Structures are given as C-alpha cells and as structure tokens.
Structure 1
Amino acid sequence: MQLSRESSQAGFSLIEVLVSLVIICIGVLGLVALQSRSLVLSQDAIQRNNAIMLAGDLLELMRSNAGAALDGKGRFSIDSPYAKPVGEDFTTRALEAADGSCATLDRGQGGEAIAGKDLTCWLQQVRTLLPVSDAILKANFAVCPTRQPPEVGSAAPYADPDACVSPDASMVMIVLAWQDNTGNSAGCSGGLCFYTLRGAL
C-alpha cells in the first residue's frame, strides 16, 4: 500500500513545527538567562554607587565639622570622634527630642556631640542602602588616618599595615563593605565587596 502524497507532506510539516518549537524554546531560555544576569549586574551597580555616595557623604560631614574631626595641628587623628578602627564599633550618639530627625538635625554648633549624631544618621543610611549586618560594620568598615593607599589588589583594603596608620595624618581613609549577593568578583572577596575612599579634610 502506497502512502498518498498528502499524508507524506503532513508528516514533514509536523517535523518542521517541532524543530521550530525547539529553536524558539532555546531562544527564550537564552533571553531569560540574559535578563536575570542583567538584573544581577544592575543590583551590583546600584550597591557600588550607594557605597560611593555614602563614603563621599561621610567625608563631607567630617569636612563640615573640622573642629571635631581634626586635631590642633589640622590632622585627622585615630582619637577623632569620627575615627573607627577595624574591629571596633562606631562612636555614635542618639538624637535627642530637640534634634528631631536626621533630616532636621541642626549641625551649626559642630563639635564632638554633632560628630556622634552625624555617625548615627550616616549609619541609618548605610543600613538602608547597603546589605550590611552589625558584624560587617564592626569587622570591615574603617575610618582612619592614612598616609598611603592600600596595596593594589588587596582583598581587604586595610590589610596593608601601612594603609591605616594609628598616628595622626593629613589624609583620611574610609572603607565600606557589603554582602556580595551577585557573584560578581570585581572588587569582591569572600562574599564581601569593598569600596575605599581616601581624601584630605
């Protein structure tokens, strides 16, 4: 018995449809993978931008309260109320009822009390904008006098013993860290990403 020409063509069309479906499925899977990767990279970029902004904000807070930030010789000291060595907590001060909120804080008087309140408000921003825990803040954040930049490629920027020095210096180094949920290795090590800012006060 011979197959008719029509049934032979119908079978060929079915194979074409199946091949087309496989190609479309592969394309859709590729688009989904590309979209998920772009979301991860966007999140990484947002966190890095937040870290840059936060470090710059802290530097400007210190510059605007130079009387508390600097010693009598105009240098940043490890004894400054803004200083925070690795492994220690920030020296914060709770806002009082008269202060209102961080947005309405009157910084006109300056001084050590304002420095503590500055750090309280700044840490609120850090916790809002970066994925950090209290352990990360204590173990990986640093605000210290420095004379030279950290070693290139060091995982923790303060690992270089000369980068974060205890004597007074004219430069300050601010190190921020946050959890790396992206798997992006640029500037990240051991599940943490770091940003370091060095500047003069």
Structure 2
Amino acid sequence: MSSLKPSFRNVERGHRSMKNNAGFGMIEILVSMLVLAIGLLGLASLQTTGLTQSAETRNRSQAILLADDMFERIRANRDSINSYAVAAAGTAPTCNSAYKVANTDVVADDIAEWQNSLGCLLPGGNGAVQVNAGVVTVDITWNTNTGNSVDGSVTMEARL
C-alpha cells in the first residue's frame, strides 16, 4: 500500500514555480496597453492631418473655381475686358449672405459679386485681376489658420 501514497514533492515544485511567475501577466497587460495607447495616438494624429489636408484641398478647389468664374465673366463681356482689372482689397472682403446684384453696371456687378463669393467661400479670401493686352491674370489668396498672414494662393492666367 505504500506504493499508492501520493507524492507531494511534485506538487510543491509546481507551487514554487507559480510563485516565481507571480505578476508576470500584469506586466504583459501593461506593456500591451502601452503599445495600444501609442497606436491610438498615432491614429489620432493621422486623422487630424487628414482633416487639415482635406480642408486645404477644399479651399484650393474653391479658389480655382472662383478664378474660372472670373474668367467666364470676362469672356462673356469681352468688350469691357480692361474694366475688369481690380487690385486686391486691403482687407479681405466680408461675406454678405443677403447680397443682391445692383444691376447698374455689368462689370461693377461682376466684380462685386465675385468679391462677395471670395469672402463667403474662402477663409480670409481676397483676389485681384490684372489685364494686360488680352491676357487676364487672376490671383486669389486665403488664410488656412496656420498663423501666417496668407497661407494659400492660386494664380491663373488666360488669354481672352
């Protein structure tokens, strides 16, 4: 019957090895949480950069469309092409959502409506039109809130 006696020697060895590993699982969890936190911070940074670039792309597209709008206005009224030359305003035009065309002079109405569109569609949007021997140059600038006075600009030129 002595051979049926359980051996406690192996059980004690297993118990001692468990004591040596105590807390190891907690360290693994903390390290994995640290790696996860760093990954989430990287993802948040990527999202912020994507939103900023998306806004900049929208502003650049609006500026190109506004420059094209001015070219089309001039093209529709070629007889008065030299009257469309306008310098950029000292301060950016403000947006007037209730703007109505005065219907007094086509050129003056076109310029006033275009400048109102600059103020409404671009942050701090401003523009200038230069006419030189049938070549029209449209310069548009805007702010992108990076701290610089003028952050974005588009210059387009067309022979009309």
Q: TM-score range by the shorter chain?
A: 0.7 to 0.9
Structure 1 residues 87 and 8 mapped into 2: Cα distance closer, same or farther (>3 Å)? same
List alignment gaps of at least 5 residues for structure 1: 70-76, 90-99, 107-111, 147-168, 184-188
Structure whose alpha-carbon radius of gyration is higher: 2
Q: 1:62 to 1:180 in 2, by over 3 A?
A: same
Matches within 5 A, 1:51-90: 51-69=63-81, 77=82, 80=83, 82-85=84-87
CA distance in structure 2 between the aligned counterparts of 1:88 and 1:41, rounded to whole angstroms: 28
Q: Per the alignment, do residues 190 and 127 of structure 1 end up closer, same or farther by CA in structure 2, a change over 3 Å counting?
A: closer
> Contact (CA 8 Å) 1:40, 1:182: kept in 2 or not?
no
Corresponding position: 1:126 with 2:121: no
Q: State the one-letter code of the partner of 2:155.
A: T
Corresponding position of 1:193: 152
- Map residues 89-108 of structure 1 onto 2, 5 A cutoff: 101=100
Higher relative contact order (CA 8 A, sep 6+): 1
Change (3 A) 1:182 1:40: farther
> Aligned-pair distance for 1:88?
6.8
Match in the other structure for 2:137: 173
Judged with a 3 Å threshold, the aligned counterparts in structure 2 of structure 1 residues 172 and 113 are, in CA distance, closer, same or farther, namely same
Residue 7 of structure 1 and its aligned partner are, at CA, apart by: 4.1
How many residues align structurally?
140
Higher helix share: 2
Percent of aligned positions with the same letter in both sequences?
A: 31
Q: How high is the TM-score relative to the length of structure 1? A: 0.61
CA distance in 1, matches of 2:105, 2:150: 35
* Residue 22 (structure 1) aligned to one of 34, 41, 52: 34
Q: Deviation of residue 87 (structure 1)? A: 6.2
Task: Report the aligned-residue RMSD.
Answer: 2.8
Contiguous gaps of at least 5 residues in structure 2: 1-12, 92-98
Deviations 1:95-146 (A, max 9, x none): xxxxx945xx88xxxxx8011111222122111111116xxx3xxx321124
Q: What is the TM-score normalised by the length of structure 2? A: 0.75
